[in-house]
Amino acid sequence: MTTLRADCSNCFGLCCVALPFAASADFAVNKEAGTPCANLRTDFGCGIHERLRDSGFPGCTVYDCFGAGQQVSQVTFGGTSWRDAPETARQMFDVFPVVRQLHELLWYVEEALTLNAAREVHEDLRRQRDVVTDLTRLAPDALEKLDVAAHRQEVNVLLLRASELVRAQVKGRKKDRRGADLMGARLRNADLRGAGLRGAYLIAADLTGADLRLADLIGADLRDADLSGADLTGCIFLTQPQLNAARGDAATRLPDGLTRPVHWS
């Protein structure tokens, strides 16, 4: 099975080279795509990994490749790095974000397959898992040309249905705030059980004490959102990077499989 957790020890520092970033609150400097970060060591490790936030690189701490880094490094390119074979660099850096998208899809599919309420779509999800897994194993030339959006749409139909089935467990009418602009919203102690918050902009929102049980948080932007004391038990499609981008405390209740970020108070 494709590994969906990042293993930086088996990656050629792809996120530190392939991706661009702009000087901002998330990154201390500008860096162009394809240019190695100044903090990247010769062994592909990060020279300031233990102090990224203090050094002005909090954006690095909330990024997750879902295992695409080691897949591209060790499988797609057979363990030969862009340093050892400079002629492969451009294609390796182009392929990395493609595989990252595929792995993120697989992450959501795997979670949906653990949801008993979504049993109705499990068979179709397993078929899509096999299809997407096969795509991650394509040769570099094929991956470069891959229409990821088309495959994402097919999977998304199933994920939407899985979400509906799970959220139907909450009695009454559920809030549908899909893609809503909730930046800075005051949602302290809000009842958001079973809410549809797909792709919602919750940047710096006050969700202190909010009840988010069984809410769908796929793609929700939680940067700087305050989750102190919030109940995220059983919420679906929440990822570790989303949590890492938010704020919380010891009273924040998390769904199974996710860990409390070290920077939370």
State pLDDT tens for residues 129-174: 999 999 999 999 999 999 999 999 999 999 999 999 999 999 987 7
Average pLDDT over residues 232-244: 95
Q: Does residue 1 register a pLDDT over 70? A: no
Tens of pLDDT, residues 174-221? 789 999 999 999 999 999 999 999 999 999 999 999 999 999 999 999
Phi and psi angles of residue 221, each rounded to the nearest 5 degrees, phi first? -90, 105
Which of 173-182, 221-230, 241-250 is predicted least confidently? Answer: 173-182
Residue 237 near residue 108, CB atoms below 8 Å:
yes
pLDDT, the chain, mean? 95
Copy the structure tokens of residue 245: 């981008």
Q: What is the pLDDT of residue 174?
A: 79
Q: What is the mean pLDDT of residues 79-104?
A: 97
pLDDT value at 25 more than 90: no
Bridge partner list, 173: none
Q: Answer whether residue 79 shows pLDDT above 60.
A: yes
Cα 168–Cα 169–Cα 175 angle in degrees, nearest 5: 55
The C-alpha torsion from 218 through 103 and 116 to 243, rounded to 10°, is -40
Residues 16 and 12: their CA atoms lie apart, in Å, by: 9
Q: Cα(89)–Cα(95) distance, rounded to whole angstroms?
A: 10
pTM for this entry: 0.93
Q: Where are the CATH 2.160.20.80 domain residues in the chain?
A: 171-265
| pLDDT at residue 257 greater than cutoff 50 | yes
Residue-level pLDDT at 172 = 86
Give the architecture-level CATH label for domain 171-265. 3 Solenoid (2.160)
Mean pLDDT (whole number) for 87-93? 98
